[in-house]
Amino acid sequence: MQLIIADEAGFCTGVRRAFHISEEMANSEGKWFTLGPLVHNKAVVDYFSQNGIEPLEDINNLAGDGIIIRSHGVSPQAMAVIQEKGLMIRDATCPLVKKVHEAARLLQSEGYDIIVFGDIHHPEVQGIMGWCNHKAQVITSIDEVQSQKKFKKLGIISQTTRNENEFLAVVEALLPRAQEIRVFNTICSATRKRQEAARLLSAEVDCMLVIGDRNSSNTKTLAQECQNTGVATHVIESAQDLNPEWFKAGDKVGVSAGASTPDWIIKEVLDRMTQFDDGAPQEQIIQETQMETNAPRENDTSEENFAKMEAEMADIVSPSRGDIIKGIVVEVHDDDVMVDVGGKSEGIIPLREMSVKDVSSAKLLATVGEEIEVLVLKWDDDGTILLSKKKVDSKRAMDKLEETFNEGGIVEGTITSSVKGGLLVDVGVIAFLPASHVEDGYVKNLDEYIGKTYSFKIIEFNRNKKRGSQIVLSRKQLVEAEKSKLKEQFWATIEEGQVLKGRIKRLVDYGAFIDLGGFEGLLHVSEIDHVRVEHPSAVFNEGDEIEVYILALDREKQRVSLSRKKLLKSPWEIVMEKYAEGDIVEGKVVRIAPFGAFVEIEPGVDGLVHISQLANYRVEKPQDVVAVSQIIRVKILSIDQEEKRIGLSLKEAAESLQEEEVQEYLQNQEGQESQDDPEGSAADE
């Protein structure tokens, strides 16, 4: 007898995930239950009952400390009841079933009539109905299509374990019955692959065994696929159901299993098959479909063949936690990526496991058809992930960084955030940059570096470190080396009289230190402006970029004196360009003398209003007319550029302004009279 195991058989990813979540809860504190059977397989349910986790059928009888939502999912109404009872929840709903829930919710919210292709009594379908407020019809076959009404907007979804060809036939039959139709093909790809593998194998064998619970929808569908090929098909739940009369010497027997069938059941069945043929050990050939080259030699013993069978079964079991495998991206969503990793089904990479970088959508990181390496996680705290690309990328990056560290090389990275004591840097993995190693001196504001890319030296590398950073970086040595190089270039090219751009590095009471790109020069407070500056902070902020004039160089002591004043117009230049004799200007009284008042008309430029020009009457003391800090309007009588003197008159300014007001009043009066008596004006003419 020759046994051939189908390429796709046994636990799917969703069931395996639910199994692991339940195992985790069985080993935790408190009493946990499942809401209904975890999966449609009595052996799995019995296994967990023996480990303290029992199924509860009636939601109103929920008790214990926590509830595990089974892989078929539940309605939002059922979830609300559980939450009201205050129970802990572990959601083992298959991620693909959750996508069906979302499709049902979306169709209902957008006003579609909904048809669900499936079994109304199946818990998955009952859960789906809850997500569209039970406003959907359930049909089980194409025969029910003819009784359907005409639809304006029709949405079609399916139970994940149904036959895809039957689903597509139902969709095709419904097309003429709707003005608008929207179809979500929600058949599980693992189910589809399992059915296809079983169908192909059925054409090569004399008999098919389908291992699975008889109440399992996907097991029933799998058996029907095999029977449709005409091959003799037997559904068994365990090795005890095997009947030796089904097989003849020399038969080729194909073996498949439903998505909720545990690996140990499959192994027991294969073990029992090796003992058939009148009770005598019989030479067996265990191979996978399309792998005849692995068949044993004629003199192989049954024990050797069973070892081969165990090896074949290893291909059915999902890769172990921590394994790095390759896969092909088959679907990309905003929140996750689905990857075909071979075996029974796809794996899921949640967005947070795609990259160390913070991105808004997985669509920015992966494309359908791309081959990627992933690390098998199987599940995390919320039971929703299976794979990680981030951890594989991190491992590869760590390998490269370790090599760079050993060679004393340089790495490039982008600063992502600030933390206590330093900065975090993305160098393929997240490394730590101490504050004391950011520059060659003290850094006041670390946040200014976030988002910028620099080169770094690795000063500490320990991939086995459990606490703290495995990688510690430094810019300090690189900055010092770069500054030394720039300093040499600076002194080789600098000359007095040059005008350079620089950045203000530090502000002190006596001036500002300007980074000129390789060397710092001093801009003394007296050289900031033509007017008196009390403190440099009144004019500048650290980090400002300004132009400066090279005032003096001391190459021996390596000192550079700078001036900004040299590049600014003097107050008298501004006055000569801006004002002329006869202008009336506004100014502030800054000083009073016995012979008059000094008025500032521009910063740094004062004019004198002689006591005789303060008023059109005799003034005994200037302070009888004006006060210090008073804003007044004056007329420019004279400008002496050589002596830098300006003569002003408050009296003439007042007279000029008064005359202007009178003229304006008369003009307005004449205009008003013309409007009031247009005919009289015409008669006068």
Residue 677 Cα to chain centre, angstroms = 78
Instruction: Fill in the DSSP letter of residue 570.
Output: P
Structure tokens given for 542: 């650290």
- Kindly list the structural domains of the chain, giving each domain's residue range(s) and its CATH number in brackets, ordered by start: 2-8+190-316 (3.40.1010.20), 13-94 (3.40.50.11270), 96-187 (3.40.1010.20), 324-388 (2.40.50.140), 393-480 (2.40.50.140), 494-567 (2.40.50.140), 573-656 (2.40.50.140)
**Per-residue model confidence as pLDDT tens digits over 230-276:** 999 999 998 889 888 888 877 889 999 888 888 888 888 887 887 66
Angle at 346 between CA 345 and CA 350, to 5 degrees: 145
Strand ranges in 51-110 using DSSP code E only, listed in sequence order: 54-56, 66-69, 88-91
User: Starting from the edge strand earliest in sequence, which strands make up the sheet with 151-158, in order?
Assistant: 136-139, 113-117, 151-158, 178-183
Write the pLDDT tens digit of every residue in 179-217: 999 999 888 877 788 888 888 999 899 999 999 888 888
pLDDT of residue 247: 85
Annotated active-site residue in 124, 225, 312, 520: 124
Q: Rounded to the nearest 10 degrees, what angle do helices 13-26 and 95-109 cross at?
A: 110
Q: Are 472 and 431 in contact (CB under 8 A)?
A: yes
Please identify every stretch of the chain with a pLDDT value under 50, giving residue numbers as ranges.
278-318, 344, 379-385, 681-685
Helices (H), 3-61: 13-26, 42-50
Closest residue by Cα to residue 35 from 71, 7, 10: 71
The pLDDT value given to residue 17: 81
Task: Read off φ and ψ for residue 32, nearest 5 degrees.
Answer: -115, 145
CA 654, chain centre distance (Å): 70
pLDDT the model gives residue 678: 58
User: Cα dihedral sign for 101, 107, 110, 112?
Assistant: negative
Residue pLDDT, tens place only, 305-317 = 444 444 444 444 4
**Residue 599 CB coordination number (10 Å):** 26
Active site residue 661: no
Alpha-carbon dihedral angle through residues 241, 270, 207, 13, given to the nearest 10 degrees? 90
The pLDDT of residue 321:
66
Among left, alpha and beta (phi > 0; psi -120 to 50; other), residue 445 is beta
Kindly state the helix (H) or strand (E) to which residue 305 belongs, with its residue range. Answer: helix 302-316
Q: How far is CA 141 from the centre of its chain?
A: 43
What does the alpha-carbon distance between residue 165 and residue 477 come to, in Å, rounded to a whole number? 67
Structure token digits, residue 653? 């300014």
- Would you list the DSSP string of 252-293? EEEEEE-TT--HHHHHHHHHHHTT-STTS----EEEETT-GG
Q: Residue 386: which residues within 8 A CB-CB, separation 6 or more?
A: 13, 17, 347, 348, 349, 376, 377, 378, 379
Cα–Cα dist 231/558, whole Å: 96
Instruction: Name the pTM for this structure.
Output: 0.43
Q: Which two tokens stand for residue 38?
A: 């975890």
pLDDT at position 642, please? Answer: 83
DSSP-derived secondary structure letter, 519 = S
Coil, strand or helix at 433? strand
The 3-state secondary structure of 550-561, one letter per residue: EEEEECCCCEEE
Which residue in 552, 578, 554, 551 sits closest to 565, CA to CA? 551
406-438: b (≥16 Cβ within 10 Å) or e:
eeeeebebebbebeeebbbbbbbbbbbbbeebb
